[in-house]
């Protein structure tokens, strides 16, 4: 057995054991676990207004509506073919609707969105929306099954990775290197359990939005203190799937993803270091003729110049989030249509640094971002620049808008 397969087997077994323990003993690390009581998933630098539009009736229950509108502009070095040196436009124009009480709760997200990611070509908002998850990217119901259990059904946030999909949900405008190897939205069912210091979830879904329900996933989180938690998770494909689209890339949709995450949140500082391992087994029937995968490490942190109070930001909130990552790839899928395989070619690696000073005044926010990516051992034509031979890319970005 190769060292990469051995590492995967050990990591998967550890995550599986932790997941089983969590399912038996129960759970509660809300920030890292998709909450069985529907709610908005947000980082700690931007927050929605605490008083959303609200309606209530005896027959329909309590409903709330929150909205996000934002635009951005950025300049980048070494754009790849099909990209320009600068862009501007809408980054989000969405409404989030939720029903929060009763045995059946509902969440629906509708609108248009961009998903910029460092080190990857940029796709304009309208094209991105239509080629990924559509104008209703997330929509699901949660059914309460007693005090501690619930089941979620519909278009759900995926389990793999740490970062959420949409810009306003995260401390950085762009998604990171590790995020690009994970799935974002999956259709399926998820059983949730939480009680005390433990929380856990088990999911059956269609992976990277493939429409084929051949993925499973498990996640467990243990609160180590009032301000910290440790989470382990595994999710992955159980059978080959030949689909290859923007939303469902062939290699990532046939992968298996393991994460080990620590999270600390204080009033001044927050830290989230995590490790990620992805593995794509050889599947000759769909054109994957060799094993491949990635190993990545990241440290995300935020310094709150205006401190939080019990996790709640003041009216004026200034913060400085950073993200540092390193990721390497191994193996070679040897797919004729994907000669670069993962990242920037077989055996390639990269590190990144991102800083995103942010200010929010009530419903309005603005943030600037500087992101740098340095790639190594790249395959000619698979990196940056007009010929794919440059090994670095820098992006400067501005995003501003409102959260209601």
Gap between the Cα atoms of 243 and 184, Å rounded: 16
The band of 11, judged by pLDDT with boundaries at 50, 70 and 90, is very low
The CB density around residue 301, as the number of other CB atoms within 10 Å, is: 16
* 280 Cβ contact partners less than 8 Å away, ≥ 6 residues apart: 251, 252, 254, 255, 256, 288, 291, 292, 293, 331, 333, 342
Closest CA to 187 of 162, 168, 200, 204: 204
- Superfamily assignment of 3-403 in CATH? Porin (2.40.160.10)
Gap between the Cα atoms of 281 and 253, Å rounded: 11
Query: DSSP code of 211?
Result: S
Adjacent-strand bridge partners of 106: 99, 141
Closest CA to 400 of 24, 66, 74, 16: 74
The C-alpha angle 85, 176, 5, rounded to 5 degrees, equals 130
Does residue 189 surpass a pLDDT of 90?
yes
Percent of the chain surpassing pLDDT 70: 90
Q: How far is CA 254 from CA 45, 137, 344, 355, in A?
A: 34, 22, 19, 32
Are the beta carbons of 200 and 27 closer than 8 angstroms?
A: yes
Element (H, E) at 373: strand 364-376
Output the pLDDT for position 40. Answer: 56
Output the pLDDT for position 176. Answer: 98
> Integer distance in angstroms from the first to the last C-alpha of the chain?
54
pLDDT by residue (tens digit) across 145-187? 888 999 999 999 999 999 999 999 999 999 999 999 999 999 9
Which alpha helices (H) appear in 69-131, and where do they start and end?
Answer: 125-131
Gap between the Cα atoms of 298 and 324, Å rounded: 6
pLDDT by residue (tens digit) across 145-154? 888 999 999 9
Does residue 398 surpass a pLDDT of 70?
yes
Does residue 394 surpass a pLDDT of 70?
yes
Does residue 2 surpass a pLDDT of 60?
no
Output the pLDDT for position 7. Answer: 41
Place of tokens 């070095």: 77
140 is written with which tokens? 């699901």
pLDDT by residue (tens digit) across 353-378? 999 999 999 999 999 999 999 999 99
pLDDT by residue (tens digit) across 92-122? 999 999 998 889 999 999 999 999 999 999 9
């Amino acid at each position: 057995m190769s060292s990469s397969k051995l590492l995967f087997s050990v990591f998967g077994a550890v995550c599986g054991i932790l997941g089983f323990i969590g399912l038996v003993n129960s759970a509660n690390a809300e920030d890292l676990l998709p909450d069985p009581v529907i709610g908005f998933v947000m980082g700690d630098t931007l927050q929605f207004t605490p008083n959303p539009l609200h309606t209530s009736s005896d027959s329909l229950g309590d409903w709330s509506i929150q909205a996000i509108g934002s635009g951005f502009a950025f300049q980048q070095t070494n754009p790849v073919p099909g990209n320009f040196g600068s862009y501007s436009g809408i980054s989000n124009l969405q409404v989030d609707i939720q029903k929060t009480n009763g045995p059946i709760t509902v969440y629906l997200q509708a609108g248009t969105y961009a998903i910029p990611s460092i080190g990857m070509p940029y796709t304009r908002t309208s094209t991105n929306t239509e080629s990924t998850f559509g104008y209703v990217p997330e929509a699901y119901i949660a059914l309460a099954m007693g005090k501690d259990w619930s089941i979620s059904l519909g278009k759900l946030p995926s389990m793999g990775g740490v970062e959420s999909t949409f810009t306003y949900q995260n401390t950085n405008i762009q998604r990171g290197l590790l995020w690009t190897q994970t799935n974002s939205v999956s259709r399926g069912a998820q059983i949730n359990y939480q009680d005390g210091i433990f929380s856990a979830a088990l999911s059956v879904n269609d992976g990277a939005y493939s429409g084929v329900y051949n993925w499973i996933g498990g996640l467990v989180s243990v609160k180590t203190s009032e301000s910290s938690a440790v989470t382990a998770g595994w999710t992955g494909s159980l059978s080959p799937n030949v689909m290859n689209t923007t939303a469902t890339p062939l290699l990532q949709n046939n992968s298996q993803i393991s994460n080990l995450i620590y999270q600390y949140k204080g009033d001044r500082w927050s830290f989230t270091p995590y490790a990620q391992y992805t593995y794509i087994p050889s599947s000759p029937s769909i054109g994957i003729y060799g094993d491949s995968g990635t190993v990545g490490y990241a440290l995300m942190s935020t310094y709150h110049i205006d401190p939080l109070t019990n996790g709640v930001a003041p009216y004026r909130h200034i913060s400085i989030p950073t993200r540092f990552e390193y990721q390497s790839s191994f193996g070679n899928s040897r797919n004729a249509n994907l000669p670069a395989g993962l990242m920037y070619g077989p055996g390639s690696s990269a590190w990144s640094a991102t800083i995103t000073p942010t200010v929010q005044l009530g419903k309005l926010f603005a943030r600037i971002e500087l992101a740098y990516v340095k790639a190594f051992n790249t395959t000619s034509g698979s990196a940056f620049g007009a010929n794919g031979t440059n090994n670095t890319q820098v992006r400067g970005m501005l995003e501003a808008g409102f959260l209601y």
